Amino acid sequence: MTQRLRPSEQDYQPGYFMGTTPPEPGHPVQVAPGVHWLRMSMPMALDHINLWLLDDGDAWTVVDTGLNIDSTREAWEQVFQQHLQGRPLARVLCTHMHPDHVGLADWLCRRWNAPLLMTQGEYLSARMVSAGMEPTGTEGLVEHFRVHGAAPEQLQALGARGNFYMRMVPSLPSVFQRIDDGQRLRIGEHEWQVIVGGGHSPEHASLWCAEQRMLISGDLLLPRISTNVSVYPIDPDADALGRYLHSLERFDALDAATRVLPSHGFPFSGVHGRVRQLREHHAERLEAVLHACAQQALSAADMIPLLFRRQLDTHHLGFALGEAIAHANRLWAVGAVRREADAHGVLRFVAREAANPARVQALARTAAGLAMPLAA
């Protein structure tokens, strides 16, 4: 008997139904009737965000806003002057609280006297972090990472960086319109259903149009890069990865012909293959972490080389620490590891069982929502 090989991360290839040439900033491209693709530049390694301009009858609804920087505002001015066809922006809908998605919400809402639509969890979290309320501020974040084993020089660099969110989201509308999971929004000639997911952010809203078999996935489903899943100091014991993996089930239930409009990368098809690939991705990383924790007790900071094989700057170090904690907490949540604190309060994770490779793989794949490969 031989074991059937599990799919590798190279097996799935997204189908880019719009090609791989993005729109120029400020110049929308139609991807479907009533749906237009905007791309805005960002001055970082992830150098762009996709926004979606939806025909709303005698007006427009925009999904996400871009960063609060001059170049994005200038690109929006081009859209206003050249592409709105004399119709106003009637609604600003933000998928979630992150700065590239909500950074210009206040500016757009004020400019057009338009309401902001968000889930309650995203809006209130954005208000809290933008105000610097602890433990979401710099002090709370540094202590969170200290508890998970970050070195003094790493903590110093993270502290010196300050509150990036407050700089990128200096203001938000003081009121909002709440959207909920399952709610149906009539936008122009089409109905879009809200699909709420977690793990990447508190209550991330994706939008599904059954008539067009189209999903505006936000950051929950991207064609190439894996969505960052982090644990934050306000909810330090959260099983963020478990919530994210559970959220993927909603996309697995969609039509196989679904066309996905992601926030980063190119519009793509092959939703089921991508969901499977992401589960495999996290299963492999959970397996590596669990195997290492069977050799010795590890802090989340100790796990970073197992999860990230590239050099990390301070900006990406914060994401890496958050994601390492998420993988450790996932294994803790399913009972595969126990957690111990030393005299300084630093947490380390230890496997509950000896390092049997087959057993480690089985636990990791179960934690990722996958069955074991079948024998051929």
pLDDT in tens, 250-295: 999 999 999 999 999 999 999 999 999 999 999 999 999 999 999 9
For residues 145 and 222, state if they share a domain. yes
Altogether, the residues listed in the chain come to a count of 376
Q: What is the pLDDT of residue 286?
A: 98
Say whether pLDDT at 1 is over 60. no
82 to 5, 158, 252, 268, 372: CA distances (angstroms) = 53, 42, 38, 27, 54
Q: pLDDT over 90 for what percent of the chain? A: 89
Q: What is the mean pLDDT of the chain?
A: 94
CATH label of the domain that carries residue 335: 1.10.10.10
Number of domains in the chain: 2
For residues 305 and 249, state if they share a domain. no
- pTM for the whole thing? 0.94
Q: What is the pLDDT of residue 311?
A: 86
CATH label of the domain that carries residue 235: 3.60.15.10
The residue among 223, 249, 274 that closes a domain is 274
pLDDT tens by residue, 199-248: 999 999 999 999 999 999 999 999 999 999 999 999 999 999 999 999 99
Q: Give the Cβ contact number of residue 98 at 10 Å.
A: 25
For residues 216 and 344, state if they share a domain. no
Is residue 187 domain-resident? yes
Q: Is the peptide bond before 14 cis (omega within 30 degrees of 0)?
A: no
Query: What's the domain range around 329?
Result: 279-367
For residues 254 and 207, state if they share a domain. yes
pLDDT tens by residue, 76-120: 999 999 999 999 999 999 999 999 999 999 999 999 999 999 999
For residues 166 and 243, state if they share a domain. yes
Give the residue-averaged pLDDT of 307-336. Answer: 95
d(CA 336, CA 338) in angstroms, rounded, equals 7
d(CA 323, CA 230) in angstroms, rounded, equals 4
For residues 70 and 213, state if they share a domain. yes
With H, G, I as helix, E, B as strand and everything else as coil, classify residue 246: helix
Helices and strands in the chain: count of H runs, count of E runs: 12, 15
